[in-house]
Amino acid sequence: MIEETIFSKIIRKELPSDMLYQDELVTAFRDINPQRPVHVLIVPNRHIPAVDDVTADDEAALGRMFSVARKIAREEGISDDGYRLVVNCGEHGRQEVPHIHMHLLGGEDVGPMLSRKNRDHS
Protein backbone atom coordinates (compact mmCIF):
# COMPACT_ATOMS: atom_id res chain seq x y z
CA MET A 1 0.00 0.00 0.00
CA ILE A 2 1.30 3.45 -0.90
CA GLU A 3 1.77 5.75 2.07
CA GLU A 4 -0.46 8.80 1.95
CA THR A 5 1.33 12.13 2.44
CA ILE A 6 0.27 15.74 2.62
CA PHE A 7 1.92 16.16 -0.79
CA SER A 8 -0.28 13.43 -2.28
CA LYS A 9 -3.34 15.37 -1.17
CA ILE A 10 -1.97 18.63 -2.60
CA ILE A 11 -1.22 16.92 -5.93
CA ARG A 12 -4.81 15.66 -6.08
CA LYS A 13 -6.04 19.14 -5.07
CA GLU A 14 -7.71 17.74 -1.95
CA LEU A 15 -5.82 20.30 0.15
CA PRO A 16 -5.45 23.96 -0.78
CA SER A 17 -2.07 25.22 -1.94
CA ASP A 18 -0.53 28.09 -3.84
CA MET A 19 0.12 25.89 -6.86
CA LEU A 20 2.49 27.31 -9.45
CA TYR A 21 2.76 24.37 -11.85
CA GLN A 22 1.28 20.96 -12.50
CA ASP A 23 1.56 18.48 -15.35
CA GLU A 24 1.37 14.70 -15.68
CA LEU A 25 4.75 14.21 -13.93
CA VAL A 26 5.27 16.92 -11.31
CA THR A 27 3.56 19.54 -9.17
CA ALA A 28 5.07 22.74 -7.75
CA PHE A 29 3.63 24.90 -4.99
CA ARG A 30 4.77 27.49 -2.46
CA ASP A 31 5.99 26.22 0.91
CA ILE A 32 3.58 27.15 3.71
CA ASN A 33 6.54 27.98 5.97
CA PRO A 34 8.92 29.81 3.60
CA GLN A 35 12.58 30.05 4.60
CA ARG A 36 13.37 32.66 1.91
CA PRO A 37 11.26 35.16 -0.08
CA VAL A 38 10.86 32.47 -2.75
CA HIS A 39 10.41 28.95 -1.35
CA VAL A 40 8.73 26.50 -3.69
CA LEU A 41 8.38 22.74 -3.36
CA ILE A 42 8.57 20.64 -6.53
CA VAL A 43 7.34 17.06 -6.17
CA PRO A 44 6.82 14.11 -8.47
CA ASN A 45 3.14 13.22 -8.80
CA ARG A 46 3.96 9.55 -8.26
CA HIS A 47 4.74 8.84 -4.62
CA ILE A 48 8.46 8.15 -4.19
CA PRO A 49 9.31 8.11 -0.47
CA ALA A 50 12.97 9.21 -0.73
CA VAL A 51 15.97 9.40 -3.04
CA ASP A 52 16.88 5.86 -1.95
CA ASP A 53 13.63 4.67 -3.55
CA VAL A 54 14.29 6.20 -6.99
CA THR A 55 14.35 3.80 -9.95
CA ALA A 56 15.10 4.20 -13.65
CA ASP A 57 11.32 4.60 -14.18
CA ASP A 58 11.50 7.87 -12.22
CA GLU A 59 14.11 9.58 -14.41
CA ALA A 60 11.60 11.53 -16.52
CA ALA A 61 9.87 12.97 -13.44
CA LEU A 62 13.15 13.82 -11.74
CA GLY A 63 14.44 15.55 -14.86
CA ARG A 64 11.18 17.45 -15.12
CA MET A 65 11.64 18.65 -11.53
CA PHE A 66 14.82 20.46 -12.63
CA SER A 67 13.28 21.99 -15.74
CA VAL A 68 10.28 23.18 -13.70
CA ALA A 69 12.68 24.67 -11.11
CA ARG A 70 14.35 26.64 -13.91
CA LYS A 71 10.97 27.82 -15.26
CA ILE A 72 9.72 28.95 -11.85
CA ALA A 73 13.02 30.66 -10.97
CA ARG A 74 12.70 32.72 -14.16
CA GLU A 75 9.03 33.51 -13.48
CA GLU A 76 9.83 34.55 -9.90
CA GLY A 77 12.67 36.80 -11.11
CA ILE A 78 15.43 35.01 -9.18
CA SER A 79 17.32 33.28 -11.99
CA ASP A 80 19.78 36.13 -12.61
CA ASP A 81 20.91 36.45 -8.99
CA GLY A 82 20.82 32.69 -8.32
CA TYR A 83 18.95 30.25 -6.18
CA ARG A 84 19.43 26.97 -4.35
CA LEU A 85 17.85 23.59 -5.02
CA VAL A 86 17.77 21.18 -2.07
CA VAL A 87 16.67 17.55 -1.81
CA ASN A 88 16.86 15.95 1.64
CA CYS A 89 16.93 12.19 2.18
CA GLY A 90 16.16 10.29 5.35
CA GLU A 91 16.45 11.13 9.02
CA HIS A 92 20.02 12.47 9.01
CA GLY A 93 19.26 14.44 5.84
CA ARG A 94 16.34 16.03 7.71
CA GLN A 95 13.67 14.86 5.28
CA GLU A 96 10.38 15.76 6.96
CA VAL A 97 7.81 14.42 4.47
CA PRO A 98 8.29 10.87 3.10
CA HIS A 99 7.61 11.96 -0.48
CA ILE A 100 10.67 13.07 -2.45
CA HIS A 101 10.64 16.82 -3.02
CA MET A 102 12.93 19.58 -4.17
CA HIS A 103 13.10 22.94 -2.41
CA LEU A 104 13.64 25.96 -4.67
CA LEU A 105 14.97 28.79 -2.47
CA GLY A 106 15.87 32.32 -3.51
CA GLY A 107 15.03 35.98 -3.54
CA GLU A 108 17.94 36.78 -1.21
CA ASP A 109 21.32 35.27 -0.34
CA VAL A 110 20.62 31.74 0.89
CA GLY A 111 23.82 31.64 2.96
CA PRO A 112 26.47 28.93 3.14
CA MET A 113 25.46 25.36 2.44
CA LEU A 114 26.86 24.21 5.78
CA SER A 115 28.15 26.10 8.78
CA ARG A 116 31.88 25.88 9.48
CA LYS A 117 31.08 23.78 12.57
CA ASN A 118 29.34 21.19 10.41
CA ARG A 119 32.19 21.08 7.86
CA ASP A 120 34.94 20.46 10.41
CA HIS A 121 34.43 16.84 11.45
CA SER A 122 37.98 16.27 12.72
Evaluate whether residue 119 is within a structural domain.
no
Mean pLDDT of the chain: 92
Give the count of domains, the chain.
Answer: 1
Evaluate whether residue 102 is within a structural domain.
yes
pLDDT single digits (tens) 56-85? 999 999 999 999 999 999 999 999 999 999
Evaluate whether residue 121 is within a structural domain.
no
- CATH number of the domain bearing residue 104: 3.30.428.10
CB 8 within 8 A of CB 47: yes
Report, as residue numbers or ranges, the catalytic residues: 101
The domain in which residue 40 lies consists of 6-112
- Predicted confidence band of residue 36 (pLDDT cuts 50, 70, 90): very high
The pLDDT assigned to 1 comes to 47
CB 2 within 8 A of CB 52: no
Evaluate whether residue 122 is within a structural domain.
no
The predicted model scores a pTM of 0.90
Evaluate whether residue 117 is within a structural domain.
no
